[in-house]
Amino acid sequence: MNVAAAPKFTADDAARLARELYGLSLTAESLPSERDRNFVLKDDVGPRFVLKIANREEALEVLDLQNKLLERLAASATGLAFPRLVAARSGLEITPVPGEDGAAYFVRLLTWVDGVPMATVQPHSVELLRSLGAALARVDRALAGFEHAAAHRIFYWDLRHASMAWRYLDLLPEERRRILRPFIDAWRALDWDSLPAGTIYNDANDYNVLVDPAGTRVVSLLDLGDAVHSAIAGDLAIAMAYAMLDKQDPIAAAAEVVAGYHSVRPLSEAETDAVYTLAAARLCASVCYAANQARLAPDNQYLNISNRPAWALLEKLASFPIGWPTEVFRRVCGYAAGARTSASLAESRRRMLGPSLSLSYSEPLHIVRGWRQHLYDAGGRRYLDCVNNVAHVGHAHPRVNEAASRQMALLNTNTRYLHEHLAEYIERLTALLPPSLNVVYLVCSGSEANELALRLARAHTGRDGIFVLDAAYHGNTSALVDISPYKFNGKGGRGKPAHVEIMPLPDTYRGPYRGPDAASRYAAHVADAARKSPPAAFFAESASGCGGQIFFPPGYLADAFAAVRSAGGVCVADEVQTGFGRAGSHFWMFETQGALPDIVTMGKPIANGHPMGAVATTRAIADSFANGMEYFNTFGGNPVSCAAALAVLDVVRDEGLQENARATGDYLLAGLRDLATRSPLIGDVRGCGLFLGVELNATAAEASALVDRTKEGGVLLSTDGPRHNVIKIKPPLVFGRADADVLLHQTWGML
Ligand code: PMP
pLDDT digits (tens, 9 = 90+) for 646-688: 999 999 999 999 999 999 999 999 999 999 999 999 999 999 9
Dist. CA 509 → ligand 1 center (Å): 25
Judge contact between 133 and 260, C-beta under 8 A.
yes
Burial of 154 (0-12, 13-18, 19+ CB in 10 A): exposed
- Residue 70's contacts (CB-CB under 8 Å, 6 or more residues apart) are 82, 83, 84, 85, 110, 224
Q: Does residue 123 have a cis peptide bond before it, meaning omega lies within 30 degrees of 0?
A: yes
The best mutation among 443, 576, 720 to test binding of ligand 1, ranked by most ligand atoms within 8 Å of the C-beta, falls on 576
The binding-site residues of ligand 1, defined as CB within 6 angstroms of any ligand atom, are 445-447, 450, 473-476, 541, 545, 574, 576-577, 603-604
Phi, psi of 390 (to 5 degrees): -65, -40
Dist. CA 601 → ligand 1 center (Å): 10
- Residue 267's contacts (CB-CB under 8 Å, 6 or more residues apart) are 233, 236, 258, 261, 275, 333
d(CA 609, CA 603): 9
Rounded (10°) CA dihedral 411, 417, 419, 425: 110
Q: What is the pLDDT of residues 279-289, one digit of tens each?
A: 999 999 999 99
For residue 1, pLDDT over 60 is answered with no
- Ligand 1 atom closest to the Cα of residue 603 is 15
Mean of all residue pLDDT scores within the chain: 96
Dist. CA 616 → ligand 1 center (Å): 16
Angle CA 365–370–376, to nearest 5: 45
Nearest C-alpha neighbor of 257 from the set 237, 234, 231, 277: 237
Phi, psi of 633 (to 5 degrees): -135, 110
Judge contact between 112 and 105, C-beta under 8 A.
no
Nearest residue CA, atom 5 of ligand 1? 577
Dist. CA 447 → ligand 1 center (Å): 6
Dist. CA 549 → ligand 1 center (Å): 14
**Complete DSSP assignment for 90-149:** TS-SSEEEE-TTS-EEEEEEEE----EEGGG-SS--HHHHHHHHHHHHHHHHHTTT---G
For residue 4, pLDDT over 90 is answered with no
- Ligand 1 atom closest to the Cα of residue 445 is 15
Supply the pLDDT for residue 305. 56
- Ligand 1 atom closest to the Cα of residue 476 is 16
Nearest residue CA, atom 2 of ligand 1? 474
pLDDT tier for residue 568 given thresholds of 50, 70 and 90:
very high
Dist. CA 202 → ligand 1 center (Å): 55
Dist. CA 396 → ligand 1 center (Å): 21
Q: What is the pLDDT of residues 98-156, one digit of tens each?
A: 998 889 999 999 999 999 999 999 999 999 999 999 999 999 999 999 999 999 999 99
Q: Which residues pair with 615 in a beta bridge?
A: 441, 601
d(CA 128, CA 124): 6
- Ligand 1 atom closest to the Cα of residue 546 is 5
Nearest C-alpha neighbor of 285 from the set 155, 373, 378, 145: 155
Mapping DSSP to helix (H, G, I), strand (E, B) and coil, where does residue 220 land? strand
For residue 17, pLDDT over 70 is answered with yes
Amino acid at 607: A
CB atoms within 10 A of CB 413: 12
Question: What angle separates helix 324-333 from helix 269-296, to the nearest 10 degrees?
Answer: 130
Judge contact between 683 and 695, C-beta under 8 A.
yes
- For 158-209, the three-class secondary structure string (H helix, E strand, C coil) is CHHHCHHHHCCHHHCCHHHHHHHHHHHHHHHCCCHHHCCEEEECCCCCCCCE
Termini Cα distance of the chain: 51
Q: Which residues pair with 502 in a beta bridge?
A: 468
- For 695-720, the three-class secondary structure string (H helix, E strand, C coil) is EECCCHHHHHHHHHHHHHCCEECEEE
pLDDT tier for residue 297 given thresholds of 50, 70 and 90:
confident
Q: What is the pLDDT of residues 164-217, one digit of tens each?
A: 999 999 999 999 999 999 999 999 999 999 999 999 999 999 999 999 999 999
Nearest C-alpha neighbor of 546 from the set 475, 492, 496: 475
CB atoms within 10 A of CB 672: 24
Dist. CA 51 → ligand 1 center (Å): 71
Phi, psi of 40 (to 5 degrees): -90, 135
For residue 76, pLDDT over 80 is answered with yes
d(CA 83, CA 628): 91
The best mutation among 602, 604, 606 to test binding of ligand 1, ranked by most ligand atoms within 8 Å of the C-beta, falls on 604
Among residues of the chain, what percentage have pLDDT more than 90?
A: 94
The best mutation among 387, 544, 550, 577 to test binding of ligand 1, ranked by most ligand atoms within 8 Å of the C-beta, falls on 577
CB atoms within 10 A of CB 90: 9
Alpha-carbon separation of residue 696 from 134, 623, 746 (angstroms): 46, 47, 17
Supply the pLDDT for residue 32. 85
- Residue 363's contacts (CB-CB under 8 Å, 6 or more residues apart) are 708, 711
**Complete DSSP assignment for 286-330:** HHHHHHHHHHH-TT-GGGGTTHHHHHHHHHHHHTSPTTHHHHHHH
d(CA 109, CA 51): 5
Q: Count, in order, helices (H) and strands (E) of the chain.
A: 25, 26
Supply the pLDDT for residue 351. 97
Supply the pLDDT for residue 16. 96
Q: What is the pLDDT of residues 350-368, one digit of tens each?
A: 999 999 999 999 899 999 9
pLDDT tier for residue 750 given thresholds of 50, 70 and 90:
low
- Ligand 1 atom closest to the Cα of residue 448 is 16
Pairing of strands 613-617, 682-688: unpaired
Supply the pLDDT for residue 3. 64
Residues making up the chain, counted from first to last: 751
Phi, psi of 251 (to 5 degrees): -70, -35
Dist. CA 385 → ligand 1 center (Å): 19
d(CA 707, CA 722): 17
Q: What is the pLDDT of residues 611-653, one digit of tens each?
A: 999 999 999 999 999 999 999 999 999 999 999 999 999 999 9
d(CA 460, CA 623): 8
For residue 19, pLDDT over 90 is answered with yes
The best mutation among 356, 357, 451, 474 to test binding of ligand 1, ranked by most ligand atoms within 8 Å of the C-beta, falls on 474
**Complete DSSP assignment for 268-292:** PHHHHHHHHHHHHHHHHHHHHHHHH
**Complete DSSP assignment for 597-610:** -SEEEE-GGGGBTB
Phi, psi of 280 (to 5 degrees): -65, -35
Nearest residue CA, atom 10 of ligand 1? 474
Q: What is the pLDDT of residues 488-531, one digit of tens each?
A: 999 999 999 999 999 999 999 999 999 999 999 999 999 999 99
Longest dimension (CA), the chain: 112
Nearest residue CA, atom 13 of ligand 1? 446
Supply the pLDDT for residue 296. 84
Dist. CA 66 → ligand 1 center (Å): 67
Q: What is the pLDDT of residues 22-73, one digit of tens each?
A: 999 999 999 988 788 999 999 999 999 999 999 988 899 999 999 999 999 9
Nearest residue CA, atom 1 of ligand 1? 474
Supply the pLDDT for residue 749. 73
For residue 301, pLDDT over 80 is answered with no
Angle CA 209–211–217, to nearest 5: 115
- Residue 490's contacts (CB-CB under 8 Å, 6 or more residues apart) are none
Question: Average pLDDT in the 403-425 region?
Answer: 97
Dist. CA 485 → ligand 1 center (Å): 14
Q: What is the pLDDT of residues 593-607, one digit of tens each?
A: 999 999 999 999 999
CB atoms within 10 A of CB 95: 20
Q: What is the pLDDT of residues 211-268, one digit of tens each?
A: 999 999 999 999 999 999 999 999 999 999 999 999 999 999 999 999 999 999 999 9
For residue 344, pLDDT over 60 is answered with yes
The best mutation among 356, 454, 473 to test binding of ligand 1, ranked by most ligand atoms within 8 Å of the C-beta, falls on 473
Supply the pLDDT for residue 306. 53
Supply the pLDDT for residue 293. 87
